[in-house]
């Protein structure tokens, strides 16, 4: 940290003080800088502003276009001219992927709002921080103010959808998510979250599928959204499409996430029934056999205890084998 006091060595500042951060993503790099700055600010050291200003001007991106760094600059600026320069940075910066988490940043953002009460980005970031610090009502009100000032800001509507859903206000949450998607269809996560809520409200699978199909490129960016897609394809009888996705995509499943395999089983059983009813017993038997497998691309391991689905699957397999007169296998 001593290099930070020697303002003649900004190359070393970027390369040494933030050596670990430079190997991380942009968000972490900025947060490493702000940790240094907040430490100086807590000591009342003037270097807090000087270091931040020099790094944002001389080390380039991601520091130069960080909106959080700009708010810190505005708060620490020693002159009106420097505050005006920071305000211009704020106006031109994006609030996307900016994550305030320090308690002192509540004061910085509130101070910014005293200077410019119509700053929708400051309201949004303040709401993020308040919600993170478990000040959920205050955070929701800050997001609502941001949405009022910038109704085309899709990200804040998604946050409101989440907050309303957590309060059990499902209809209000659905409206917020619809507003989010009205202004931004590039993020698959609001599609997933909205679909979960609409399923709770018993909105038809056909209607929900139509939205996902209309934004297929976005949906396929994310596993959770893709799982919702294949579930709806299966529910609406489009087994071929569902199985094609399940067979060709590698899913990355977090701990406890087994839904994708359940859909895989359902799709094969239901297509097997469809094929059996059409008299195609060989193909039906193949589907029932496939439903009992655990493909590596789904990243779901076999459970130790037999499930109800496994018992049902065994019955279908036996029935199909008997139809094919493969009695020995059935027994």
Alpha carbon distance 291, 179 (integer Å)? 39
Q: Is the pLDDT of residue 329 over 90?
A: no
pLDDT of residue 8: 42
Q: Give me the DSSP letters along 49-86.
A: HHHHHHHHHHS-TTTTT-HHHHHHHHHH-SSHHHHHHH
Total structural domains in the chain? 2
Residue 142 belongs to some domain of the structure: no
Residue 204 belongs to some domain of the structure: no
pLDDT of residue 105: 97
Residue 279 is part of which domain span?
Answer: 237-331
Q: What is the DSSP letter of 94?
A: -
Residue 213 belongs to some domain of the structure: no
Contacts of 95 (CB under 8 A, 6+ apart): 67, 121, 124, 125, 155
Residue 151 belongs to some domain of the structure: no
Q: Which pLDDT band, with edges at 50, 70 and 90, does 5 fall under?
A: very low
Contact indicator for 57, 69 with CB cutoff of 8 Å: no
State pTM to two decimals: 0.84
Residue 223 belongs to some domain of the structure: no
Q: Is the pLDDT of residue 4 over 60?
A: no
Q: Which pLDDT band, with edges at 50, 70 and 90, does 22 fall under?
A: very low
For the residues 177-183, what does the mean pLDDT come to? Answer: 97
Contact indicator for 131, 139 with CB cutoff of 8 Å: yes
**Residue range 53-94, pLDDT digits in tens:** 999 998 888 899 999 999 999 999 999 999 999 999 999 999
pLDDT of residue 176: 98
**Residue range 88-147, pLDDT digits in tens:** 999 999 998 899 999 999 999 999 999 999 999 999 999 999 999 999 999 999 999 999
Rounded-to-10 torsion of CA 112, 61, 147, 128? -70
Q: Is the pLDDT of residue 247 over 50?
A: yes
pLDDT of residue 321: 55
Mean pLDDT, the chain, rounded, equals 87
Contact indicator for 16, 3 with CB cutoff of 8 Å: yes
pLDDT of residue 258: 82
Domain-ending residue, one of 73, 99, 125: 99
Contact indicator for 109, 101 with CB cutoff of 8 Å: no
76 alpha-carbon distance from chain centroid = 33
Residue 249 belongs to some domain of the structure: yes
**Residue range 272-307, pLDDT digits in tens:** 999 999 999 899 989 999 999 999 999 998 875 455
Domain-ending residue, one of 37, 69, 99: 99
Domain-ending residue, one of 80, 99, 118: 99
pLDDT of residue 143: 98
**Residue range 225-234, pLDDT digits in tens:** 999 999 999 9
Residue 23 belongs to some domain of the structure: yes
How large a percentage of the chain has pLDDT more than 90? 73
Residue 161 belongs to some domain of the structure: no
Q: Which pLDDT band, with edges at 50, 70 and 90, does 26 fall under?
A: confident
């Amino acid at each position: 940290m001593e290099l930070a006091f020697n303002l003649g060595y900004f190359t070393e500042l970027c390369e040494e003080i933030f050596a670990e951060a430079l190997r991380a993503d942009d968000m972490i790099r900025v947060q490493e800088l702000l940790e240094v700055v907040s430490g100086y600010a807590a000591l009342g050291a003037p270097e807090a502003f000087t270091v931040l200003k020099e790094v944002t001007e001389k080390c380039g991106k991601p520091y130069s276009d960080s909106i959080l760094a700009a708010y810190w600059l505005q708060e620490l600026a020693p002159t009106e001219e420097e505050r005006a320069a920071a305000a211009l940075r704020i106006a031109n910066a994006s609030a996307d992927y900016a994550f305030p988490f320090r308690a002192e940043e509540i004061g910085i953002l509130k101070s910014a709002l005293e200077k410019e009460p119509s700053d929708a980005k400051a309201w949004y970031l303040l709401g993020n921080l308040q919600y993170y610090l478990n000040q959920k009502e205050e955070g929701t009100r800050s997001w609502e103010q941001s949405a009022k000032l910038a109704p085309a800001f899709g990200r804040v509507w998604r946050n409101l959808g989440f907050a309303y859903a957590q309060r059990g206000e499902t209809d209000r949450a659905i409206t917020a998510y619809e507003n989010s998607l009205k202004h931004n269809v590039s993020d698959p996560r609001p599609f997933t979250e909205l679909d979960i809520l609409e399923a709770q409200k018993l909105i038809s699978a056909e209607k929900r599928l139509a939205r996902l199909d209309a934004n297929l490129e976005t949906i396929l960016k994310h596993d959770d959204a893709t799982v919702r897609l294949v579930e709806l394809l299966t529910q609406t009888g489009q087994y071929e499409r569902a199985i094609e996705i399940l067979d060709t995509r590698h899913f990355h499943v977090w701990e406890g996430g087994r839904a994708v395999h359940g859909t895989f089983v359902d799709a094969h059983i239901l297509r097997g029934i469809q094929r059996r009813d059409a008299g195609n017993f060989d193909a039906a038997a193949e589907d029932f056999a496939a439903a009992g497998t655990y493909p590596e691309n789904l990243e779901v391991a076999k459970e130790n205890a037999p499930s109800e689905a496994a018992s049902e699957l065994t019955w279908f397999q036996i029935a199909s084998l008997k139809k094919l007169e493969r009695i020995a296998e059935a027994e």
